C-alpha cells in the first residue's frame, strides 16, 4: 500500500499548492452591459492579483485553468480574444514575473496552439526555469481525462516495449507520466462564480484537495477572496481517508 499524503495544513502555514478554476468572466461583463471580451480583460487583471497575492502569502504553487480542451467550442472570436490576452499577459509580465522569482510552467496540449504562442510558452518556461519563489502553472488547452489517457497510452507503449513491467505501475510511477510530474498535488482547489464542478481540471491530482466554491466572479477575485478561501481551508480537517486525530 502506498502512503497517504502528509497533512500540510498545520497551524497557519499557507497551503503549498492552490489551483483555481477562473470562472464568471462572461457573467461579470453581462451584469455590466459589457461585451464578454471586457470580462476576459478584467479576468487577466485578476490573474495578476492572484499571482502577486500567492507570492506574498508564501504559496509555493499556483495553477490556473486558463483554457480547457473544451473551450474551442466557443465562437472563434472569443477564442482569439482569450489567446490574445494570454499573449499580452506573457509579453507584458514575463520580465516582472522573472524578477519576482516566479517560475512559469504550462500544462495542456500544445499542438493546436498558434506557433507564436508555443514560442512564448517555451521562452517563458526557459527564462524562468530556475526560479523558486512561486511556480505558476497555466493550464492551456488542458483536459484532465485527456492527460490521463495520454499517460495510459505512454505506459502501454512502455509495457509493450518491455521497458516497464505491469506490476511496477505504482501511483508514483503513474504520476511520472502526467504533465504535472514533479509538482505536489493541489491542497486547495478554488472555483469562482458559484459553479460547483471540477470541469475536467486536475482530476487525478485533486483526489484529496479541499474544494472551495466562491460566489465572486473571476474579475472580482482579490487578495481578500484568496485569504477567505485559505481561512476556510484551515478550518477543515483533512483526514486522507483516515479517522483524524
* Residues identified as active-site: 23, 71
Per rule CB under 6 A, is residue 202 in the interface with ligand FPP?
no
Pairing of strands 134-142, 188-191: unpaired
**Distance between start and end Cα atoms, the chain:** 21
Is residue 205 a contact point for ligand FPP (CB under 6 A)? no
Residue 61 near ligand FPP by CB under 6 A: no
Burial (CB < 10 A; 0-12, 13-18, 19+), residue 29, is buried
String of contacts with ligand FPP for each residue 89-108, x by CB under 6 A: x-------------------
Interface of this chain with ligand FPP, residues 41 to 60, rule: CB under 6 A: 43-44, 47
Q: Beginning with the edge strand found earlier in the chain, give each strand of the sheet holding 210-213 in spatial order.
A: 102-107, 134-142, 61-68, 17-21, 188-191, 210-213
x/- track of binding to ligand FPP for residues 122-151 (CB under 6 A): ----------------x-------------
24 binds ligand FPP (CB under 6 A): yes
For residues 51-84, one letter each, b for 16 or more C-beta atoms within 10 angstroms of the residue's C-beta and e for the rest, the string is bbbbbeeebbbbbbbbbbbebeeeeeeeeebbbe
- Provide the minimum distance between the beta carbon of 15 and ligand FPP in the complex, in angstroms, as a whole number: 20
C-beta separation of 189 from 201 below 8 A: yes
Establish if 40 lies at the interface with ligand FPP (CB under 6 A).
yes
9 touches ligand FPP (CB under 6 A)? no
* Binding footprint of ligand FPP, residue count (CB under 6 A): 20
Query: Which residue, chain included where needed, has cell 495544513?
Result: 9
Binding segment for ligand FPP (CB under 6 A), chosen from 17-25, 52-60, 109-117, 124-132, is 17-25
Binding residues for ligand FPP, rule: CB under 6 A, are 22-27, 40, 43-44, 47, 64, 66, 71, 82, 85-86, 89, 138, 193, 218
Amino acid at each position: 500500500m502506498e502512503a497517504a499524503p502528509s497533512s500540510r495544513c498545520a497551524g497557519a502555514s499557507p497551503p503549498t499548492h492552490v489551483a483555481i478554476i477562473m470562472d464568471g468572466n462572461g457573467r461579470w461583463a453581462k451584469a455590466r452591459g459589457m461585451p464578454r471580451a471586457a470580462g476576459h480583460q478584467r479576468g487577466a487583471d485578476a490573474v495578476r492579483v492572484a499571482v502577486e497575492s500567492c507570492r506574498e502569502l508564501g504559496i509555493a504553487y499556483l495553477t490556473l485553468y486558463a483554457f480547457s480542451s473544451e473551450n474551442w467550442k466557443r465562437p472563434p472570436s472569443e477564442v482569439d480574444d482569450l489567446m490574445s490576452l494570454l499573449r499580452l499577459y506573457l509579453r507584458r509580465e514575463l520580465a516582472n514575473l522573472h524578477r519576482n522569482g516566479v517560475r512559469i510552467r504550462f500544462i495542456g496540449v500544445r499542438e493546436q496552439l498558434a506557433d507564436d504562442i508555443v514560442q512564448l510558452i517555451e521562452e517563458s518556461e526557459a527564462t524562468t526555469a530556475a526560479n523558486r519563489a512561486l511556480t505558476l502553472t497555466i493550464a492551456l488547452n488542458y483536459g484532465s481525462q485527456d492527460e490521463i489517457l495520454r499517460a495510459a497510452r505512454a505506459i502501454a507503449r512502455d509495457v509493450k516495449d518491455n521497458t516497464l513491467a505491469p506490476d511496477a505501475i505504482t501511483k508514483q510511477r503513474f504520476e511520472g507520466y502526467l504533465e504535472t510530474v514533479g509538482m505536489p498535488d493541489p491542497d486547495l482547489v478554488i472555483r469562482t462564480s458559484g459553479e460547483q464542478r471540477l470541469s475536467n481540471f486536475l482530476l487525478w491530482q485533486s483526489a484529496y484537495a479541499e474544494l472551495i466554491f466562491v460566489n465572486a466572479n473571476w474579475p472580482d477575485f482579490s487578495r481578500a477572496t484568496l485569504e477567505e478561501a485559505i481561512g476556510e481551508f484551515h478550518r477543515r480537517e483533512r483526514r486522507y481517508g483516515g479517522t483524524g486525530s
